[in-house]
Amino acid sequence: MSQTLFEKIWNAHVVAQEPDSPAVLYIDLHLVHEVTSPQAFDGLRTRGIRVRRPDRTFATMDHGIPTTPRDLPILDELAAKQIAQLEKNCAEFGVTLYGLHSAPDKMGIVHVIGPELGLTQPGMTIVCGDSHTSTHGAFGALAFGIGTSEVEMVLATQCLLQRKPKTMQVQIDGVLQKGVTAKDIILALIARYGVGAGTGHVFEYTGAAIRRLSMEERMTICNMSIEGGARAGLIAPDDTTFEYMAGREYAPKGPAWDKALARWRTLPSDPGARYDATLTLDAGALEPMVTFGTNPGMGIGITGRVPDPAKTPDLSARNALSKALAYMDLKPNQPLLGQPIDVVFIGSCTNSRITDLRLAASVLKGRKVNPRVRAMVVPGSAQVKRQAEAEGLDRIFKEAGAEWREAGCSMCIAMNGDQLAPGQYAVSTSNRNFEGRQGKGGRTFLASPLTAAASAVAGAVADPRTLIQ
């Protein structure tokens, strides 16, 4: 019988399945960070048990880590304590830690280093106590975020209790126009279908537009699947995937690579495989996207206008829109182009990889960040940082007047001191524009690295197509 990519991975990982119960699902790779793991390790101590498979468990520190030079102390006592606790937990339980002291040259955002190290592989089940674990689905891995109780369960048993989700095909065709990127595809998808569209489902992105994307672009798309409500986002592995993986530290080598490759080539959904639902999007019709509101579904084309609550028939949607515009201090029907901004943040697990930084640098090269704007560029990992410096991107950013920082989640989640002041506007390449997400009272416009860089130059929301060749 024809199976989807999701069904193939799911079926290959069911350890036990009782009627009327969730499946016991085996987890191939467990990624751990400092914020959602301390209580889970404490749980193991209380039970007097060890991590079942430390060889399948890898940790890093990213959420609370400062992006200031690494030789400076961590000033936030609570963050320092949480980071020290992770070091202690990893040492005690034998977990490999890419941390400040153990591996500063390889640490970074958990969803950047997993693929970068070759830990993320097609056909795997991957979990992490972080909703953006969906990123790893770009490799054809079933990857999803879990809570801390589930982190404890995976540490203890290498398994999770999971109800089988439904599948939703997201068919994206068409050829992207100049200046329109993977980030714009996913923002447009969520704007069209809403932040709850994928609830209870796993997305599988298909179509010619997806096939043409690089691995880093595919990661940007899968990363924000959770913003569309989906548990996970999948893209079938192909030669683009295998070329990206070959030679990476944890990728199979020699005969093991050939064997793995043969298995990975069987993963794509079979012809005629059925999905529970289908969404479609024409990538060729898109312009750069920007959000105006307080959830990622509140987005418009960059030349568009802010919607008018008075023209929104549904009462609760109207109230939500009015509340969002009040928080953002925007008027119905106003354009966003030209809206003055205070901060530009280029980074996060959505858009902090080398190709993202190249895009931003292509706009900033030979230009200056507007004096009213603080622009921060935060690479996703120490390896991305080194690569960018080898290519001279850091000089482009610094000469333009942007800050070039150390790797971390930084202003995406604003736990580490990198944050907006109340009332400030930011164009951000991150994934969430929730109230206060980037700092209490801060206001976020989500956009692509191209749009963020163009906006830094303009000192206002700007259309990158006016600045690129």
Partner 1 sequence: MNQFTTLTSKIVPLPNENVDTDQIIPARFLKVTDKKGLGDNLFADWRYDADGSPRADFVLNRPEMQGRQILLAGDNFGCGSSREHAPWALVGYGFRAVISTSFADIFRNNSLKNGLLPIVVDKDTHQQLFSLVQEDPNTTLAIDLAAQTVTLPDGRRVAFSIDHFSKTCLLNGVDEIGYVLNLRDKIEAFERIHEG
CA angle 165, 24, 202 (to 5 degrees): 20
Q: Is 149 in the site for partner 1 (CB under 8 A)?
A: yes
Binding to partner 1 by residue 319, rule CB under 8 A? yes
Interface segment toward partner 1; rule CB under 8 A; list 101-109, 139-147, 206-214, 348-356? 139-147
Q: Which is nearer to partner 1, 2 or 266 (CB)?
A: 266
Distance CA 177, CA 453 (A): 18
What's the rounded Cα separation, in Å, for the pair 407 and 149? Answer: 28
Would you tell me how many other CB atoms lie within 10 Å of the CB of residue 370?
Answer: 18
Q: How far is the CB of 429 from partner 1 (least distance, A)?
A: 18
Give, as ranges, the residues between 77 and 116 that touch partner 1 (CB under 8 A).
Answer: 78-79, 81-82, 85
User: Of 156 and 468, which CB lies nearer to partner 1 in the complex structure?
Assistant: 156
Instruction: Decide if residue 150 touches partner 1 (CB under 8 A).
Output: yes
By CB under 8 A, the residues from 434 to 463 that bind partner 1 are: 434-437, 440
* Identified binder of partner 1 from the candidate list 7, 62, 130, 184, rule CB under 8 A: 130
Question: Any idea which residue has 């097609």 for tokens?
Answer: 122
How near is the Cβ of 52 to partner 1 at its closest, in Å?
8
Torsions phi, psi of 374, nearest 5? -95, 120
- Is the CB of 120 or the CB of 431 nearer to partner 1? 431
Residue 235 near residue 204, CB atoms below 8 Å: yes
| Cα–Cα dist 348/282, whole Å | 26
x/- letters, 399..418, toward partner 1 (CB under 8 A): --------------xxx---
Would you state the structure tokens that stand for residue 208, as one six-digit string?
């010619």
Structure tokens belonging to residue 156: 């203890």
Beta bridge pairs of residue 11: none
3-state SS string for 341-379: CCEEEECCCCCCCHHHHHHHHHHHCCCCCCCCCEEEECC
Q: How far is the CB of 245 from partner 1 (least distance, A)?
A: 19
Cβ at position 163, least distance to partner 1 in Å: 7
Contact criterion met (CB below 8 Å) for 232 and 202: yes
# of chain residues touching partner 1 (CB under 8 A): 70
Least distance to partner 1, CB of residue 198, Å: 9
Site membership for partner 1, residue 39 (CB under 8 A)? yes
Q: Phi and psi (nearest 5°) for 388?
A: -60, -40
Question: For the residues of 146-194, what is the DSSP string, one character each?
Answer: --HHHHHHHHHHSEEEEPPPEEEEEEEES-PPTT--HHHHHHHHHHHH-
The one-character DSSP state at 234 is E
Cα dihedral sign for 446, 452, 457, 461? negative
Give the CA distances from residue 444 to residues 153, 206, 226, 253, in Å, rounded to whole numbers and listed in that order: 35, 30, 18, 44
Binding status of residue 280 toward partner 1 by CB under 8 A: no
Scanning residues 181 to 220, which ones bind partner 1 (CB under 8 A)?
A: 195-196, 199-200
Six-digit token string for 375: 């622009």
Q: Which of 179, 229, 268, 347 binds partner 1 (CB under 8 A)?
A: 229
Contacts to partner 1 from residues 328-347, by CB under 8 A = none
* From 2, 11, 16, 466, residue interacting with partner 1 (rule: CB under 8 A): 16
468 near partner 1 (CB under 8 A): no
**From 8, 218, 353, 432, residue interacting with partner 1 (rule: CB under 8 A):** 432
> What is the number of H-type helices and E-type strands within the chain?
15, 19
Q: Which stretch binds partner 1 (CB under 8 A): 38-46, 261-269, 332-340, 395-403?
A: 38-46
Chain residues in the site for partner 1 (CB under 8 A)? 12-13, 15-16, 20-22, 24, 26, 35-36, 38-39, 42-43, 47, 49, 52, 63-64, 76, 78-79, 81-82, 85, 129-131, 133, 144-150, 152-153, 156-159, 161, 163, 165, 195-196, 199-200, 226, 229, 231, 295, 297, 316-317, 319-320, 323, 413-415, 422, 432, 434-437, 440
